Structure 1
Amino acid sequence: MRGLYNTIYFISFPLSFIGFIFPIYASSIGANVIQIGYLYSIFSIISIIIRPIVGNLIDKRGRKTGILIGTILYTVVNVFFIMARDFKYLLIGRIIQSLGASFLWISVDTFISDISDKTNRGQNFGLLDQWMAKGEWIGSIIGFTILYNNFTDNPFRLIFIIFMVTSLASVYYTIKNLPETVNIKKGYEEGNIKNKKELKYFLGIIGVISLIISLTAPIYLLYLQEHITYDLSLITFLFIPASILALFLPKRFGSFSDKYGREKIVIVGMFINAILQILIPFNKGYYSFMILYTLISTIVMFYSPAFSSLIIDFVGEDKRGRSYGLYSFASGIGGAIGYTAGSYIYENIGNDIVFYTKGVLLLVMTLFICYLYIKNIRVKTEIEITRTMR
């Protein structure tokens, strides 16, 4: 695990900053609203196409190869952002960023699964989340400090030069310290899915969950500016409490899911998240929204390691790369639809309606998963009773 730490830490520096500031950056070099929408769409489209291929590739060529390709591509992305003068630079950068994200995160998830078993998989995914949070925290401090203090006439260029250096550090540590795990041999644990029909059913559920979660992704900053505060620096402070908690809670939550059952943690976490999403339109005061957002973020930290671990619990440990590739493929399709649907609801039906929609759909999906979980327990109980009677 230590070999992965530096790789993830340094590659995570730009993630939160770019995720937050990208629409503003694109607008600053002349991209209009439609073009910014294209930049998000092309990211999703490329991801959908490439992810199943990546999963099969890293099963054959190794996880380290996938992580190395991902970190190199992320480095190249910063080069295009540094040179960006108009829309075409951002478009090429987003295409490369999508390729890099597909290679990197599928390989990282598979790497974690390779070195884990049922007793510590949630804890290890929680550790991964903490490493990312530490890098994102430092990267955001660097980015916003430069952006708000007028150190240069072109703050974005300086920021992306720094991020290029940290990405190169990630490439270095990947080459030097990261072991290969594809040939780690242990007794494969059989998953709950027994045939292709059940696999398609499972991937469909993943796609729907991703669609629901992504409904608010493209409009979150816009909603905050319209209903909480237009001041970008004050918006930044809204996320600080949750960012601090992300530095130490995910590992603890992951261990909790290993001990008490990942399915239960996911069901409880998604249910609470659904209720909190519905409450967002009722909390438009600055500090009340900060508290609510922190609660939502904490709940997501609570069940995210368990959710990541469940993929292998369901699919099985054989061909882990392919499993995470298919999972990412399904979530990518759901996410692409969710971005479009959320933007449409926000623009044409109502700003608050998109949060009500997300909360209600998440609640329905949670109840459906709970039903499947209870049904699965009954089936296993009947099987055990039949075995003992023989």
Structure 2
Amino acid sequence: MSTKSAFPLLLLNMFLANLSMGLVIPIVPELLEQFTASGQAAGYLVSCFGLTQFIFSPLAGNLSDRYGRKPMIIIGLILFAISNLLAALAGDLTLLFVSRLIGGVGSAALIPSIIAYIADITADEQRSKAMSWLGASMTSGFIIGPGVGGLLAEWGIKTPFYVSACVGLLAMVCSLWGLPESLSENIRQMHRQVKEKRDNVLRQIVLSVRSRYFVLLLIVFAMTFGLTHFEAIFPLFVVQVYGFTTRQIAILLTVCSLIGTLNQLLLTDGITRRFGEKRIIAAMLLLSALSLVFLLFSGHFYYVMVVTMLFFTFNNILRPTINTLLSRVAGAEQGFVAGMNNAYTSLGTIFGPMLAGILFEVHFNLPYLFGGFVLLLSSIFTGSRLRKVLSSVDS
């Protein structure tokens, strides 16, 4: 199998990695009731996944440059399966948290390697379209996860985890057999011979502030913060405030995610060509902020569905646009920059759900008001800073 023919398998792997993040969200109220845990545990349960993802992402990106994309993808899928199996077997909240921590490590190994793999096999003129498809699999996996989790939970609260573990093992076998290495041995050897010592992840974050792609990483953080802020508390919000059932939550999230993904595939390339990356990124951040606030206006099921669908659509368009620009800026360090991309995603996954859970206990409207405020500030800030990034890429 050639590297380009492996593209569908990469999309599937990316989908599965992000599916695992969102899978637990709709069954959080039932899990918390089963384990007699507080409401804040809902945010922490999502945040702990991002914690290990954040810690290990830069390391995984560097290892993929040194030893190849395929080994890291295989390792990520194995950890993905182990994580879900442990969650299915968990008899208390502690083991469930452990399973989420392992899942974060698996995601750290998998996601940067897939992004770097696609950058390896695509030319500059094809990369935007490839990243659009990758972004669709990434965001749809995270967004569809809650819907799938809710529907599967009707056969038992642990069923989503068993199914996810089996699918992860199947993807690992398919990748082991059918996924060629995209990085030549010469390039891998060159990276292994580099003696310079990489800084730890916190030092890399500090140094990235002075990099030319920092504004893009900041957008990655803000976008992920807003999305996880929305989803981590969404089941509790619509159950306690609007009286939705678990089935309604699953249907709503599944339908909205499918429509949002379809809109992304149909719209992203065309509107980016017409209006340019700078305007699209600033506009999507602004519209995402407005969507969060509009969610508070009514509890009618179809109104919530429309607002949620729009929020997912704006996020789905934003992700591939940012990934395309990051891959163009990265040059020869695709693995490292992909690792930093995942690290900033992890920071959003850590702080978004954590703050959402804390704010929800203060007042149920606060998570969405604060999330909208963060996205609004990001839209204003990035709108003034992106011009320099785009000029450096085009020069």
Q: Normalized against structure 1, the TM-score is what?
A: 0.81
CA distance in 2 between partners of 1:91 and 1:199 (Å) = 36
Distance in 2 between the 1:224 and 1:100 partners? 31
Structure 1 residue 211, shift from structure 2 partner: 4.0
User: Counterpart of 1:293?
Assistant: 308
70, 75, 79: which one aligns with 2:76:
70
Letter in 2 for 1:351: F
Identify unmatched segments of 5+ residues in structure 2: 188-206
C-alpha distance in 1 between matches for 2:117 and 2:93: 35
How far apart are the structure 2 equivalents of 1:15 and 1:263? 31
Name whichever of 171-180 and 124-133 sits farther off: 124-133
- Residue 370 of structure 2 is matched in structure 1 by 357
> Is 2:112 the partner of 1:106?
yes
Please tell me whether the aligned partners of residues 229 and 235 of structure 1 are also in contact (alpha carbons under 8 angstroms).
no
The answer to whether structure 1 residue 174 and structure 2 residue 175 are counterparts is yes
Offset, 1:195 = 9.0
Match of 1:197 in 2: 210
Cα shift readout 1:71-130 (whole Å, capped 9, x = no counterpart): 111111232123222233313211211111111111111112222343222311222244
Structure 1 distance, partners of 2:267, 2:259, is: 12
Q: Which moved more, 1:121-130 or 1:68-77?
A: 121-130
Cα distance in structure 2, aligned partners of 1:341 and 1:159: 26
1:237 pairs, out of 239, 251, 256, with 251
- Could you tell me which of 274, 289, 295 is aligned with 1:274? 289
Q: Is the 8 A contact 2:52 2:102 kept in 1?
A: no
Q: 1:118 to 1:61 in 2, by over 3 A?
A: same
In the other structure, the counterpart of 2:165 is: 164
1:6 corresponds to which residue? 9
C-alpha separation in 2, matches of 1:140 and 1:41: 16
The residue type paired with residue 15 of structure 1 is S
Alignment partner, residue 53 of structure 2: 47
What's the counterpart of residue 319 of structure 2? 304
Structure 2 residue corresponding to 1:30, chosen from 32, 35, 58 = 35
- Aligned partner letter, 2:318: Y
Deviation at 1:326, TM superposition (A): 1.6
Q: 1:232, CA displacement in angstroms?
A: 1.2
- Aligned counterpart, 2:190: none
Q: Tell me, yes or no, if the aligned pair for 1:263 and 1:306 is still in contact at 8 Å.
A: no
Residue in 1 aligned with 2:125?
Answer: 119
Distance across 2 between alignment mates of 1:286 and 1:180: 47
Gap change, CA 1:249 and 1:206, over 3 Å in 2: closer
The answer to whether residue 277 in structure 2 is matched with residue 262 in structure 1 is yes
Q: Of 372, 376, 380, which aligns to 1:367?
A: 380
Q: 1:128 aligns with which of 134, 137, 143?
A: 134
CA distance in 2, matches of 1:238, 1:142: 11
Structure 1 unaligned spans of 5+: 187-193, 385-390
Structure 1 vs Structure 2 CA RMSD: 3.4
Pairwise CA distance, 1:197: 2.3
Question: How many angstroms apart in 1 are the aligned matches of 2:122 and 2:283?
Answer: 24
Deviations 1:178-226 (A, max 9, x none): 121123999xxxxxxx997235854456545544554334212111112
Residue identity opposite 2:167 in structure 1: T
Whether the 8 Å contact between 1:122 and 1:309 is mirrored in structure 2 is: yes
Residues 97, 346 of structure 1: alpha-carbon distance in 2 compared, 3 angstrom cutoff: same
Structure 2 vs 1, CA of residues 121 and 39 (structure 1 numbering), >3 Å: closer, same or farther? same
> Residue 189 of structure 1 corresponds to which residue in structure 2?
none
Cα 1:144–1:307 change in 2 (3 A) is same
Measured in 2, the distance between the counterparts of 1:81 and 1:160 equals: 6
Residues 49/247 of structure 1: CA separation in 2 closer, same or farther (3 Å cut) = closer
Q: State the Cα deviation string for residues 338-390 of structure 1 (Å, max 9, x = none).
A: 33333232222x3223322222332222121111134667x77xx99xxxxxx
Inter-partner Cα distance in structure 1 for 2:147 and 2:55 = 34
CA distance in 1, matches of 2:117, 2:289: 31
Of 278-287 and 325-334, deviating more is 325-334
User: 1:93 aligned to 2:136?
Assistant: no
Tell me how far apart the structure 1 counterparts of residues 337 and 389 of structure 2 sit (CA, whole Å): 21
The AA in structure 1 aligned to 2:62 is: N
**AA matched with 1:312:** S
Change in Cα spacing, 1:42 to 1:295, as seen in structure 2 (3 Å) is: closer
**Contact 1:273/1:296 (CA < 8 Å) preserved in 2?**
yes
Asked if 1:323 corresponds to 2:356, the answer is no
Provide the rounded CA distance (Å) in 2 between the counterparts of 1:339 and 1:138. 17
Greater CA radius of gyration, 1 or 2? Answer: 1
Residues 148 and 250 in structure 2, CA contact (< 8 A), matched pair in contact too? no
Q: Which residue is 2:196 aligned to?
A: none
**Alignment check: 8 A CA contact 1:250 1:302 kept:** yes
> Structure 2 CA distance, aligned partners of 1:141 and 1:322?
33
Number of aligned residue pairs? 367
Q: Could you tell me how far apart the structure 2 residues matched to 1:339 and 1:144 are?
A: 19
Which residue of structure 1 aligns with residue 202 of structure 2? none
Question: SS state of the match for residue 107, structure 2?
Answer: helix
- Tell me which residue corresponds to 1:335: 349
Partner of 1:387: none
Q: Does 2:234 match 1:220?
A: yes
Letter in 2 for 1:318: A
TM-score by length of structure 2 reads: 0.80
